[in-house]
Structure 1
Amino acid sequence: MTRAPFDVRTFGARGDGATLDTDAINGAIAFAHAAGGGEVLLPAGRWLSFSIRLLSGVTLRLDEDCVLEAADPARHDGAYDPAEPNPFDLYQDFGHSHWRNSLIWADDVEDVAVVGPGLIDGVGMTREGPGSRWTRQAGEFPVSMAGLSEEEMAILVPDLEAMAGQGNKAIALKNARRVRLDGFTIWRGGHFAVLATGCDDLSIRNLLIDTNRDGLDIDCCRDVTIADCRVNTPNDDAIVLKSSLALGEARATERIEITRCHVSGFDLGTMLDGTEGRTQQLAPDQDRVTGRIKLGTESNGGFRHVTISDCTFTRSRGLALETVDGGVIEDVTIRDIVMREVTTAPLFLRLGDRGRGPDGTTRGAIRRVSVRGLTAWDILPDYAATIAGLEGDPIQDVELTDIRLVYAGGGEADWADRRPDDMAHAYPEPSMFGPTPAHGLWARHVDGLTLTNVRIETLAPDPRPAILLQSTRRVALGGLDAMEEA
């Protein structure tokens, strides 16, 4: 027999948007856990809360017309749970290194869920946090941020003391097993709308996320499905896989499926209200708005067996596969991708040597990447699709099949003469090299490149060559078409 839900009102919650319901919600979760598990219900109402701890066997249901509001320490009497000590916080930023300073968090749990159809409003959280404590600092920030003043950087990367009492994640999960996130909405979710670290058997489906920084961050996780989600993130990445050292070991992110998702970089809030605004032009890193799917930059443990399929990108950067901290990216399959209004390169594969890790961290590798059925149009002309390895460490065995890239055109003639440095230690981003010497595809330090039915177009003339291959061997061309409109 199915047990009736545990209604938070039974435990004293008010849901009036003014009374702090933190203790009542946590009380209901603790009671359900002690009873052997069950569903904790937040019915219609506005439930104001600081940190909520999710326990094993508990499903938190946000019912129709439910709003779970993140309280603000500056306005409400309370604070978020303090960031727990982490002896492994040297090689990734503050946000990746802590979980308890969140609206909803769980650590070492199993069989948990957060389900909709209600909404999480992170109005009381911050999107900022300190950078990593790594002393070398090379490649810590994108090259595009070099012109920011100390005052501007201090806002984006505050001191640790500024985080006291603050929450900077809507949902944070650490070392969780058999987790389901389904059917709810997150509005302005802080640094991460969802951060999952070291989680196995994770299902994320049917989420709507319109947020002020990262959307879904999946770090050191295995057996993950992300399906039928719509994620709008003009200021950072929408769906991003990572493999940091936050758990104290180099753990691969592997067996990941991302399918039928839509990512975008519309003005904040305008995906949810349907207006799809296009006023904001730049992200905080001073490149154009973000909103993409990415692997990296945290990449110590590597990525294996990743499938990205049937996804749409609108007004966002393109796909990025990046390993710069020693990990290996291998066996990645990408198929049936549609992009519109591409704000940097439509495809960016980067093997770098930032080496943000313990002494002895060596270069990683990228191998066996297949992209099939990718169509992108209205692409910013500055950056071609780029496959950039390193001298002596080429990217290996990349297949591009049934690809159509339509660029805006209008690049400058002298861009064709540019031969950028390898920039091995730099933060990986398409803009790192400046405007590319080709307008369609630029590959350098690649061993094994197969192009089949690849079509490159420009909507206005572009004097650069469509394709430039440098230090590239074992190239197979089958059905390559490059043309431009007059």
Structure 2
Amino acid sequence: MTTWIDIRDHGAVGDGVTIDSPAINRAIQAAAAAGGGAVRVPAGLWLCFSIRLASHVRLHLDTGAVIRAAVPGALGAYDLPEPNPHDIYQDFGHSHWQNSLIWGVGLTDIAITGPGMIDGHGLTAKGPGAKWAKRKGYFPESMAGMSAAELAAEDPEEAAMQGQGNKAIALKHCTQVTLRDFTIAKGGHFAVLATGVDHLTVSRLRIDTERDGLDLDCVRHCTVGHCRINTPNDDAIVLKSSLALGEARATAHVHIHDCHVSGFDPGTMLDGRFRRTQDKAPDQDGMTGRIKLGTESNGGFHDIEITRCTFERSRGLALETVDGGMLHDVRVSDIIMREITTAALFIYAGARMRAPDGTPPGGIRGVRIERLRASDVDPRFASIIAGQAGNPVCDVMLSDIDIAYSGGLSALDAPVPEKPDAYPEPSMFGPMPAWGLFIRHAADVRVAGASLSTATPDGRPALWLDDVEGAHFDRIDLKNDAATPPLICRDVRGLTGEFMP
């Protein structure tokens, strides 16, 4: 039988004025001392600084319960960021966990359950960048036109973070973790940061926040299902494999299913308005709100499955490795995309190499994407499969794909630049020379049963292949009311296919 402990029995008030985190922490410790149990947060407005989880304890938010992040100042502050000798290669937010509204380190058998809310009102979404001296690839190329003052605002000094909370929930080196049924509004830099967490289940969360939604770093045996996440300024569900733990640890055995990600105005998913007044993310590209693997990718990714998910008013699916890790055995199926603000697909192996000297570049192999439907895709960006010269993306198969682009662009003569050490985004290449699919530095690429179309005539070819070894096209239906060639090939070996222009 579960032991239930009410936070009011340990002095919590719930008036939205009193700082209740000390009382909640006492309740959690009482449950832990009893060998485990559930800590109940009843209906009320519970103003808090850092809440410290404990093993074998569940934090349960009743209907009408709101844990609100307090503004640091006269009433108190958040726990200080703990020292991390491994913080050189990833930004401040990835490198610390204790400077959060709710955090746990080295715990087992823990849970946060709903149906209440975590309101990150007093959290900051800002944080310093990595201490890596080279600094290459920190800011996306799309931010090149911003002033020094604007860039500095996105990269504050570390001293300014003392006492601040910059994550709603942060977990490190935990196992057997459940996050279920609750809502997060304004989650700071990360609504959820889970680093080195094994056997993690995330289910039926609603997140509407100004930066990342779920940031899952070096996790293993993780399931994310039936979540709705709105993150116009950053990624909704993002898998990473940084060096924050001091080792190159792969993110592996992850299943993401039945989720909806989007980039509507902040807060307007939760209030049901779904507004569209904001038209750019802070990096000056279109709204984000997507599912992504990368950017931090030192340990790589394998055995990842993404199925039955919907992208809306967001960037498309991004599978990236740029810091030395291998990305392989990734399976994507039954995806719906609407109003895509960059490329519908971005499969990219770069060489930013935010990693110890001597680390070799990683790569991509074994990607399967099937039954994907995308509409109203930004006409500037074809779907992209790209590696580096001498290090191709290998063994990619797209099947039963239907991508409808806006179209309307003219032929482009400028070459697509090589930017191996840039921050990976489709926009770093500029508008693509093809409207449908761009493949460069790749091997063994197969496309079967694909329909690519434009809503208005487009003066570019549908497909562009450059430095490709082995490409097979089967039943490719191309629909574009312009007299353009279906395919341009440069240094392509072993091409076979059937086109239906």
Q: Same fold (TM over 0.5)?
A: yes
2:485 corresponds in structure 1 to: none
**CA–CA separation in structure 2 for the residues paired with 1:16 and 1:4:** 26
- CA distance in structure 1 between the partners assigned to 2:83 and 2:16 by the alignment: 32
Q: What is the CA deviation profile of residues 22-55 of structure 1, one whole-angstrom value per residue up to 9, with x for unaligned ones?
A: 1100000011001100000000000000000000
Query: In the aligned structure 2, how far is the partner of 1:412 from the partner of 1:224?
Result: 45
* Aligned pairs (5 A) from 1:32-43: 32-43=31-42
State the 4+ residue runs in structure 1 displaced beyond 2 angstroms: none
Structure 2 residue identity aligned to 1:39: A
| Alpha-carbon displacement from aligned partner over 1:78-107 (angstroms, at most 9, x marks no partner) | 000000000000000000000000000000
Query: Which amino acid counterpart does residue 474 of structure 2 have in structure 1?
Result: G
Contact 1:191/1:212 (8 A) holds in 2: yes
TM-score (norm 2): 0.95
Contact 1:457-1:485 within 8 A present in 2 as well? no
2:303 corresponds in structure 1 to 305
Post-superposition Cα deviations, 1:103-155, rounded to whole Å, max 9, x if no partner, equal 00000000000000000000000000000000011111100011111111121
Q: Which amino acid aligns with 2:466?
A: Q
**1:441 matched to which residue of 2?**
437
The TM-score with structure 1 as length reference comes to: 0.98
**In structure 2, do the counterparts of structure 1 residues 178 and 442 end up closer, same or farther at CA, with 3 Å as the change threshold?**
same
Q: Which moved more, 1:323-332 or 1:468-477?
A: 468-477
1:207 pairs with 192, 205, 208, which one?
205
Report if the CA contact (8 A) 1:409-1:459 is conserved. yes
Q: Which secondary structure state, in structure 2, belongs to the residue aligned with residue 144 of structure 1?
A: helix
1:173-198, Cα deviation, whole Å (9 max, x unpaired): 00000000000000000000000000
Query: Residue 271 of structure 1 aligns with which residue?
Result: 269
Which string of whole-angstrom CA distances, capped at 9 and with x for unpartnered residues, describes residues 328-351 of structure 1?
A: 000000000000000000000110
For residues 173-252 of structure 1, the aligned pairs below 5 Å read 173-252=171-250
Which residue of 2 is the match for residue 454 of structure 1?
450
Distance 1:136 1:26 in 2: 41
1:319-468 matches, cutoff 5 A: 319-413=317-411, 415=412, 417-468=413-464
> Given that residues 3 and 31 in structure 2 are in contact (C-alpha distance below 8 angstroms), is that contact kept between their aligned partners in structure 1?
no
Contact preservation (8 Å) 1:16, 1:47: yes
For 2:409 and 2:211, how far apart are their aligned partners in 1?
31
Give the conservation status (yes or no) of the 8 Å contact 1:418–1:436: no
Distance in 2 (alpha carbons) for counterparts of 1:294 and 1:115: 25
Aligned partner of 2:180: which letter? D
C-alpha distance in structure 2 between counterparts of 1:87 and 1:303, whole Å = 24
Measured against aligned partners, the alpha-carbon deviations of 1:392-425 in whole angstroms (never above 9, x if no partner) come to 0000000000000100111132x2x232222111
Report the 3-state secondary structure (helix = DSSP H, G, I; strand = E; otherwise coil) of the residue aligned with 1:398.
strand
**For residue 7 of structure 1, what is the aligned residue in structure 2?**
6
Amino acid at match of 1:269: G
Q: CA separation in 2, counterparts of 1:485 and 1:475? A: 25
Letter in 1 for 2:463: I
Structure 2 distance, partners of 1:471, 1:104, is 49
The 5-angstrom pairing of residues 148-163 of structure 1 reads 148-163=146-161
Cα deviation for residue 292 of structure 1 reads 0.2
2 CA distance for matches of 1:23 and 1:94?
26
Percentage of pairs with the same residue: 57
Alpha carbons 1:301, 1:326 under 8 Å: kept: yes
Counterpart CA distance in 2 for 1:379 and 1:167 is: 37
8 Å Cα contact 2:232-2:265 kept in structure 1: yes
Structure 1, 24-33 or 3-12: larger mean CA deviation: 3-12
CA distance in 1, matches of 2:101, 2:316: 30
Q: Cα distance, 1:484 vs. partner?
A: 2.2
Residues 1:100 and 2:101 are matched in the alignment:
no
Matching residue of 2:49: 50
- Extract unaligned runs of 5+ from structure 2: 483-501
Partner of 2:494: none
Residue 446 of structure 2 is aligned to residue 483 of structure 1: no
Indicate conservation of the 8 Å contact 2:448/2:475, yes or no. Answer: yes
Which residue of the partner structure matches residue 256 of structure 1?
A: 254
Question: Residue in 2 aligned with 1:69?
Answer: 68
Q: Residues 458 and 481 of structure 2 are in contact (CA less than 8 Å); yes or no, is this contact kept in structure 1? A: no
CA contact (8 A) 2:311 2:336 kept: yes
Correspondence 1:464-475 to 2 at 5 A: 464-475=460-471
Which amino acid in the other structure matches residue 65 of structure 1?
Answer: G
Contact 1:238-1:291 within 8 A present in 2 as well: yes
SS at match of 1:431: helix
The aligned counterpart of 1:80 is 78
Deviation at 1:485, TM superposition (A): 5.0
**Structure 1 unmatched ranges of 5 or more:** none
Letter in structure 1 aligned against 2:379: P
What SS is found at the alignment partner of 1:269? coil
Give the 3-state SS of the residue equivalent to 1:348 in structure 2: strand
| In 1, Cα distance between equivalents of 2:146 and 2:293 | 26
CA distance in 2, matches of 1:388, 1:436: 12
Return the alpha-carbon distance in structure 1 between the equivalents of residues 156 and 444 of structure 2: 44
Question: 1:353·1:363 contact (CA, 8 Å) conserved in 2?
Answer: yes
In the TM superposition, residue 3 of structure 1 has moved relative to its aligned partner by 3.4
Q: What root-mean-square deviation, in Å, do the aligned CA atoms of Structure 1 and Structure 2 show?
A: 0.8
Report the residue type matching 1:237 in the other structure. Answer: D
Distance 2:291 2:3 in 1: 39
Q: Following the alignment from structure 2 to structure 1, what is the Cα–Cα distance between the partners of residues 452 and 5? A: 58
Matches of 2:3 and 2:225, distance apart in 1: 29
Residue 22 of structure 1 aligns with which residue?
A: 21
The amino acid of 1:218's aligned partner reads L
Matched residue SS, 2:28:
helix
